[in-house]
Structure 1
């Protein structure tokens, strides 16, 4: 799937801000690896992905504390979708030609979950994690 996304980027059908792969082992904690082959060093860094994974698997209720009820629902949905022994590819997409990109990704029989950030939420993410170093 990473190769396909890389090709779609070269064809300018998708533009990524950042990407990470999450592996949820049968036992133990999920592991995060930034997909640097897709986005170089990554825009948001390891702190962002670590926080996201923490929200997904360990404390989905924190989204409610932040006042993002819709976000909390999405976080809960994602956390429940990634079963032990499986992995997920997280993409922070700037823009995409959906009618071209989604059929390409459908070839992998993957479940595609998506949400959009408001401009305000996007600014908060950038402010909170934009200056973080990549782990």
Structure 2
């Protein structure tokens, strides 16, 4: 099972510090990441996404990375390079509504990451919760979390792979 965790922050500075700390925690084996992104929303409401590239020992491969990119796009309505819209996007929304990433979860994320705020989004395959929480506590933030079961994760990857190729 993987955890998709969204942590929103009052400032970009706090979010960047937490984002950098999570990368250190990955190196220290406190968290195993399949995806990590820093999402900032400027004063005009425009969303910007930054990710560290290869996150290290990913393990999910291209489909998992594409899934994470698609999840970011759906949560923040940010199109990612290579994301095919149309039938694929509709199929993913239908599949996601069956998982913990339902409309209620997406609305909580949208309302917690608004103009002037930032967020760190991570897709963790393994997490030592107490060490992770202690390391991120100094940065503050509001946590919105959902867990994807292994079945839900496979279904979403299947939906992603079943879409048209561009």
The answer, yes or no, to whether TM exceeds 0.5 is yes
Determine if the alignment matches structure 1 residue 85 to structure 2 residue 106: no
Offset at 1:112?
1.6
Supply the distance in 2 between the matched residues of 1:37 and 1:2 (Cα, whole angstroms).
14
Offset at 1:106?
1.3
SS in 1 for 2:134: helix
Structure 1 unaligned spans of 5+: 56-61
Determine if the alignment matches structure 1 residue 10 to structure 2 residue 10: no
Aligned length: 126
Do 1:44 and 1:126's aligned partners in 2 also have CA atoms closer than 8 Å? no
Do 2:45 and 2:116's aligned partners in 1 also have CA atoms closer than 8 Å? no
TM-score (norm 2): 0.62
Structure 1 pair 65–105 and aligned structure 2 pair: CA distance change class (3 A): closer
TM-score (norm 1): 0.74
Offset at 1:35?
3.0
More strand by share: 2
Match of 1:50 among 41, 50, 73: 73
Structure 2 unaligned spans of 5+: 1-17, 79-92
**1:65-86 deviations in Å (ceiling 9; x for gaps):** 8344762211111110112011
Q: Which has the higher contact order (CA 8 A, sep 6+)?
A: 2
